[in-house]
Structure 1
Amino acid sequence: MFWSPGPRPSRAGRTPTPTTSGACAARSDRAVSGEAALGGSTAAGARSPRPRRRPFSRWRARLALPQALIWQRLHFQITEPYRRTALYRWRLSGPELSQLHAQPADPWPGQSDLGSAILQNRLTFAGRTLADPRPFWLPADADDAWLAQLHGFAWLRDLRVLGSDNARRRARELVGDWLTRHPGPGGPAWHPATTGRRLAVWIALFEFFAGSAEVTFKTRVLDGAQRQARYLHDVLPAGLCGAELLAAIKGLAVAGACLPGGQPWLERALGLLERELPRQILADGGHCQRSASLHLDVLRDLIDLRAALAAAEIQPPRNLQLAIEGMAPFLKLLQHPDGGLALFNDSLEERAVVVEMALQRAQVRGRAQVAAPQSGFQCLHAGRTRVLVDAGAPPSPGLDGHTHAGTLSFELSHGRQRVIVNCGAHPGHPDWRAVQRATAAHSTLTLGETNSAEILPQGRPGAVAVGRRPETVVCRREEGDGAIWLDMSHDGYRQAFDAIHERRLFLDAAGEDLRGEDMLNGPAGVPFAIRFHLHPDVTAGLVGDGRAVLLRLPGGSGWRLRASGAEIALEDGVYLGQRDTVRRSQQVVLSGVTKDGRTAVKWALKREGGRK
């Protein structure tokens, strides 16, 4: 059979990877909408038994949250009315300031096209563009993600890159208007994570929008910054967790380091940071939420915090430096040769220039990792071929707000060209979110038109997002003579169908031959589909009387996909990996119906033509 990769290395040559597993809250759901939107297929005439459901999935998932987190969120909600009072706003007031104690640098690049659009009152956030939004700070058509970016003020960088007086004046107008309309806590503008992001940006870009302003404007801005810092000092951790909590801590720490009299805020922030970094940054350097885009955001936040402390002549804490040193090599693991990131768990490609800038500013030398067992990711690299694999369980409740049901999915690049991908993330519409998080939106196996993890409806980022999930995900890695094997399995379909999915991958030493085998251990009569989502720049056509698919890359080379044990077909797909863009694509689908006991589908991708 064409799958067989040949002899494996002796035990002495093996490099095993420990088991990765996660806690489970038992649930079940179907992925019908995701299957339909992504061209789902089942064998003709096959009847899929309905997966077993359990009632009250959302409430059971909420109760699975850590008890401390439940109480924090309850306390924050109960005390919210008091924070909206005039008395509390008075408590936030402080001495008049006219200058910063320290001015940290902000090197992150903006985008001139977005800056020009802001001057024309067209705002693009979270995948949606609103022209002349009214009211400006709370448009009727805006969702929580859009409002979080608006009130976070990172778009000031887009105005700064224009380098014009008009852009500076517009920035000043908007900051001043925000201060007038938001004198105290309340609404999405004062969400603690959004407040932390805004506070850090205002301080880092203070010279851009306020440096040439009158003293009265500078005083207003710094008074607003003081109020926000006192608010964060009062409420944190405020029921936040993961990247959102670190963003809020960063804002409080930057304010504490750079505003006169900020020592209590700095001490509070560094105390929270001391507690959170060991919780969130795993032993292999990965962030606990298992999202490449979130990992980049957190690394940037930690790098910015280190720079702000240095600008204030404060020695950064040792754990902050250790976290940066661990996160930078992990970021390289999830980076494709084109410079962008892999599309796992609400991730986008991201701008390659920003990824490279983060790696440079981290100031960490060393090669990229090839395995991250605690985070659950693997990299197979040989020749000019790179395969990135999600071989881990979803994160625990409370940290799963960005989780996709993509366990055992993989992406493949050759040179700088992405070939096989996951669909990515488009945050601009809830219907897209439901589709892109489904198992069918990933290059892996879907059983019975059901997601491998139950995707729950969610509100803001950070809400409970996953109910039933794989309890155990196993991955073993072996290497020998330049070739690499992965043996993996997950039990995400055990409760729904009493089935286990196993996936084996092999990449030869030349990087010219990727072989796989997907196995299902379970009952007969359940339809399955194995998907290979293609990058939009890759075209595909059936060859050999429909028994194989030829994938053609822009440079003229190609890959031939063959399979046994399933029917092979080409279907339409979508690609959501680039910010604010939806592109048409194709997908190869291997479909069939399970046999009693063990069902195996073998497939092989072999490179053809082009330079080595």
Structure 2
Amino acid sequence: MTASRKRNAIGTDGGLRARLEAFRRWRMLPRDLAWAQLGYHLHRPFFALPEAPWHRAGTPAASLALVPPDPWPGRAERGLAIVDGSFSFLGRNLDKPAPLWAPLGMETAWLKRLHDFAWLRDLRAAGGDAPRRKARSLVADWVANNQSWSPVAWDPVVTGERLSHWFSQYEFFAASAEVSFRQALLASAGRQARYLTAVLPAGLCGADLITATRGLCTAGLCLPQGTDWLDQGMTLLLRALDDQLLADGGQRERSPARLLSVLRACIDLRAALLAAGQEAPAALSARIEAMVAVLRLLQHGDGGLSLFNGGGEGEDLQIDMILQRGGGKQVQLMRAPDSGFQRMQAGRSLVLVDCGRPPAPGYDGAAHAGTLSFEMSVGRERLIVNCGAQAGSSSWQQAQRSTAAHSTLVLNETNSAALFAGGGLARRAETVTCRRDEDEGAVWLDLSHDGYLPLFGLTHHRRLYLSASGEDLRGEDRLCGETKGRKPLAFAIRFHLHPGVKAMTAQDGRSVVLRLPKGGGWRLRVAGAAAALEPSVYLGVPGQVRRCQQIVLSGITGERDSGASGWNPDDLCVVKWALQRLGNAS
């Protein structure tokens, strides 16, 4: 077989595998969501037809009925780069894209960022006439070259984002423009709103559905005679919030980054309703307050977000702005049992734990296999982290979602949840338990998950204890199951360290000394496994891949360690560890 025929065969096999995997993912969806996705997919060939209803001619609005408030800061340096023709999204920079709206070789996620026009805020931050003229030029070019439907430019989520940004930045780039520009802009916005009216909910769920419907609601508020769009959008939005927000205020995708996205969209919509002189629904305000409380639970001491199920730290100043605008009582939740997160806090130490069942099909597109992982910060410094996620980076997609990329136990180099390559979970833990006890400031968590039960017949149990002083975190990891006749399996308990942390192993292989950037020292001691330092990466800041270290406690199931007491008959592995501040370690 020639090299070209081999490549073609490999490509064909890869395409077939991708289609089979997509079919498997679709089969796992709830029936109503599965049929909605299928319906949207089957109708896509008709969307580009000139006869599509959203292309019907109409008298374009002369001006907006409302310009919604937009208090969010942009980044002037990015705006100035765009003036010079340089676009940077998801860690990839492109100078003078060609063709402008479909540059060759760029991933779909990058192209969506180009088409959603969120970068108008950066041009506004740059200030001056040149950024304003650049914004007008780019918007006019998009309108002229994207009249026909295309999968990326007219993706419902991208369309909703684009409408929201066009309207919120209207005063900056359009209000003083020529009449012909404003008419073309508003005529295009009307077509896009009609498109969303026709296709939503378009098989969407989670944060994506909220983003798309927010765009439709905003169009209904901003465009004259948009009452029907507003009514349809609000009905869809409130129904979606009822479907995906849990009783404790968390969201079904179980991702701090996606919860932040939903919260911000709801806050912006409430502000737009108030600016239009309309009363925001009480249900919307109640949901906002509940989400604010859960998001505070998921914040580290530095103000950034914990790294569970995709996303990164976020910009802490913007997070604080979102929480402030969200309002509600300044309460600090310590547990979100429906969402599956726990917060252990004492002294200057903070431990955040993922102890919930992985997201259900349909909400698991960004889900990671990180059950029972935890993160720890001391004051404003992060000590133990998960690796985080880089959106749109195909080279990291599977690795960043793996169990090994999280601070938890990995058995036999296998993920605790099976990952589809295109997103979603093929297998997940069915039962995840959490019991919390507190006494005089100290906190205990007793956790377990059965993600490894179908493959190896073992359940992972994890116990965590944080002393009242916050200077002593102790843990115990067990693998339990039927011991008779079982083959030994390798396990590894990983503690990923923030890039600012320096680590050094002791000669006995049983302890590791850690130094925080500001000089604080901690020691991790272990019994029941060998301790070693290995390289790791940190993906918690968008566009940055930073080297760091990880502590790996490794061993073989079934081996008894004289230093680890308390074995039960069903234990295949017992590892005890203690992380103590230097000066208190004994």
Question: What pairs with 1:442-591 in structure 2 (closer than 5 Å)?
Answer: 442-458=406-422, 465-522=424-481, 523-543=486-506, 545-591=508-554
In the TM superposition, residue 271 of structure 1 has moved relative to its aligned partner by 1.1
1:120-157 Cα shifts (integer Å, max 9, x gaps): 22211123222222111111221121111111111111
Output the TM-score relative to the length of structure 1.
0.88
For the 8 Å contact 2:218–2:272, the answer to whether it is kept is: yes
Q: Give me the whole-angstrom Cα distance separating, in 2, the residues matched to 1:92 and 1:201.
A: 24
For the 8 Å contact 2:206–2:253, the answer to whether it is kept is: yes
> Aligned match of 2:142 in 169, 172, 178?
178
Q: Which residue number in structure 1 is paired with residue 580 of structure 2?
A: 606
- 1:150 maps to 2:109: no
SS at structure 1 position matched to 2:427? coil
In the TM superposition, residue 543 of structure 1 has moved relative to its aligned partner by 2.1
After TM superposition, the structure 1 stretch with the greater mean CA deviation from structure 2, 123-132 or 250-259, is 123-132
Question: What pairs with 1:275-354 in structure 2 (closer than 5 Å)?
Answer: 275-354=239-318
Q: Give me the whole-angstrom Cα distance separating, in 1, the residues matched to 2:352 and 2:88.
A: 31
1:7-47 Cα shifts (integer Å, max 9, x gaps): xxxxxxxxxxxxxxxxxxxxxxxxxxxxxxxxxxxxxxxxx
Q: Which residue number in structure 2 is paired with residue 34 of structure 1?
A: none
> Aligned match of 2:324 in 323, 343, 360?
360
> Aligned match of 1:383 in 341, 347, 366?
347
Q: Give me the whole-angstrom Cα distance separating, in 2, the residues matched to 1:492 and 1:368.
A: 31
- 1:120 maps to 2:84: yes
SS at structure 1 position matched to 2:419? coil
For the 8 Å contact 2:54–2:191, the answer to whether it is kept is: no
Q: Which residue number in structure 2 is paired with residue 52 of structure 1?
A: none
Q: Give me the whole-angstrom Cα distance separating, in 2, the residues matched to 1:251 and 1:429.
A: 26
For the 8 Å contact 1:89–1:184, the answer to whether it is kept is: no
Cα distance, 1:57–1:211 mapped onto 2, change above 3 Å: closer
Q: Which residue number in structure 2 is paired with residue 411 of structure 1?
A: 375
1:204-224 Cα shifts (integer Å, max 9, x gaps): 111111021011111111111
Whichever residue aligns with residue 186 of structure 2, its letter is: L
Q: Give me the whole-angstrom Cα distance separating, in 1, the residues matched to 2:336 and 2:54.
A: 49
In the TM superposition, residue 90 of structure 1 has moved relative to its aligned partner by 6.4
Q: Give me the whole-angstrom Cα distance separating, in 2, the residues matched to 1:506 and 1:166.
A: 57
Q: Give me the whole-angstrom Cα distance separating, in 1, the residues matched to 2:308 and 2:217.
A: 30
In the TM superposition, residue 92 of structure 1 has moved relative to its aligned partner by 4.0
1:547-592 Cα shifts (integer Å, max 9, x gaps): 2100001111111000000011011111111110011101000000
Q: Give me the whole-angstrom Cα distance separating, in 2, the residues matched to 1:152 and 1:536.
A: 32
SS at structure 2 position matched to 1:109? coil
Q: Superposition RMSD on alpha carbons, in Å?
A: 1.4
In the TM superposition, residue 247 of structure 1 has moved relative to its aligned partner by 0.4
SS at structure 2 position matched to 1:407? coil
Whichever residue aligns with residue 339 of structure 2, its letter is: S
Q: Give me the whole-angstrom Cα distance separating, in 1, the residues matched to 2:75 and 2:328.
A: 27
Q: Give me the whole-angstrom Cα distance separating, in 2, the residues matched to 1:310 and 1:153.
A: 24
In the TM superposition, residue 524 of structure 1 has moved relative to its aligned partner by 4.2
Whichever residue aligns with residue 266 of structure 2, its letter is: L
SS at structure 1 position matched to 2:188? helix
Q: Give me the whole-angstrom Cα distance separating, in 2, the residues matched to 1:64 and 1:262.
A: 37
Q: Which residue number in structure 2 is paired with residue 430 of structure 1?
A: 394
Output the TM-score relative to the length of structure 2.
0.92
Q: Give me the whole-angstrom Cα distance separating, in 2, the residues matched to 1:499 and 1:473.
A: 13
**Count of residue pairs brought into register by the alignment:** 550
Whichever residue aligns with residue 600 of structure 1, its letter is: V
Q: Give me the whole-angstrom Cα distance separating, in 2, the residues matched to 1:428 and 1:399.
A: 18
> Aligned match of 1:594 in 544, 551, 557?
557
Q: Give me the whole-angstrom Cα distance separating, in 1, the residues matched to 2:238 and 2:292.
A: 19
For the 8 Å contact 1:93–1:226, the answer to whether it is kept is: no
Q: Give me the whole-angstrom Cα distance separating, in 2, the residues matched to 1:296 and 1:62.
A: 27
For the 8 Å contact 2:311–2:390, the answer to whether it is kept is: no
In the TM superposition, residue 91 of structure 1 has moved relative to its aligned partner by 4.0
- 1:136 maps to 2:100: yes
In the TM superposition, residue 545 of structure 1 has moved relative to its aligned partner by 3.0
SS at structure 1 position matched to 2:194? helix
For the 8 Å contact 1:110–1:157, the answer to whether it is kept is: yes
Q: Which residue number in structure 1 is paired with residue 233 of structure 2?
A: 269
Q: Give me the whole-angstrom Cα distance separating, in 2, the residues matched to 1:57 and 1:447.
A: 25
Q: Give me the whole-angstrom Cα distance separating, in 2, the residues matched to 1:93 and 1:387.
A: 58
SS at structure 1 position matched to 2:425? coil
For the 8 Å contact 2:465–2:474, the answer to whether it is kept is: yes
SS at structure 1 position matched to 2:395? helix
The unaligned stretches of length 5 or more in structure 1 are 1-55, 459-463
- 1:210 maps to 2:184: no
In the TM superposition, residue 531 of structure 1 has moved relative to its aligned partner by 0.3
SS at structure 2 position matched to 1:532? strand
Q: Which residue number in structure 1 is paired with residue 3 of structure 2?
A: none
Q: Which residue number in structure 2 is paired with residue 219 of structure 1?
A: 183
- 1:166 maps to 2:166: no
Q: Which residue number in structure 2 is paired with residue 4 of structure 1?
A: none
Q: Give me the whole-angstrom Cα distance separating, in 1, the residues matched to 2:345 and 2:69.
A: 37
In the TM superposition, residue 609 of structure 1 has moved relative to its aligned partner by 5.2
> Aligned match of 1:93 in 33, 39, 57?
57
For the 8 Å contact 1:524–1:593, the answer to whether it is kept is: no
1:202-260 Cα shifts (integer Å, max 9, x gaps): 01111111021011111111111111111101110011111111101100001101110
1:357-382 Cα shifts (integer Å, max 9, x gaps): 10111122222211000000000000
In the TM superposition, residue 58 of structure 1 has moved relative to its aligned partner by 5.5
Q: Give me the whole-angstrom Cα distance separating, in 2, the residues matched to 1:89 and 1:127.
A: 38
Aligned residues with identical type, % of pairs: 52
Q: Give me the whole-angstrom Cα distance separating, in 1, the residues matched to 2:238 and 2:263.
A: 16
Cα distance, 1:171–1:241 mapped onto 2, change above 3 Å: same
1:276-320 Cα shifts (integer Å, max 9, x gaps): 111111111111111111111111000000011111111111111
Q: Give me the whole-angstrom Cα distance separating, in 2, the residues matched to 1:158 and 1:537.
A: 29
For the 8 Å contact 2:256–2:306, the answer to whether it is kept is: yes
The unaligned stretches of length 5 or more in structure 2 are 1-19, 560-569
For the 8 Å contact 2:355–2:371, the answer to whether it is kept is: yes
SS at structure 2 position matched to 1:63? helix
In the TM superposition, residue 57 of structure 1 has moved relative to its aligned partner by 6.2
Q: Which residue number in structure 2 is paired with residue 26 of structure 1?
A: none
Greater RCO (CA < 8 Å, at least 6 residues apart): 1
Whichever residue aligns with residue 179 of structure 1, its letter is: V
Q: Give me the whole-angstrom Cα distance separating, in 2, the residues matched to 1:489 and 1:479.
A: 18
Q: Give me the whole-angstrom Cα distance separating, in 2, the residues matched to 1:162 and 1:91.
A: 35
Q: Give me the whole-angstrom Cα distance separating, in 2, the residues matched to 1:446 and 1:130.
A: 38
Whichever residue aligns with residue 501 of structure 1, its letter is: H
1:387-425 Cα shifts (integer Å, max 9, x gaps): 000001111101101101000000000010000000001
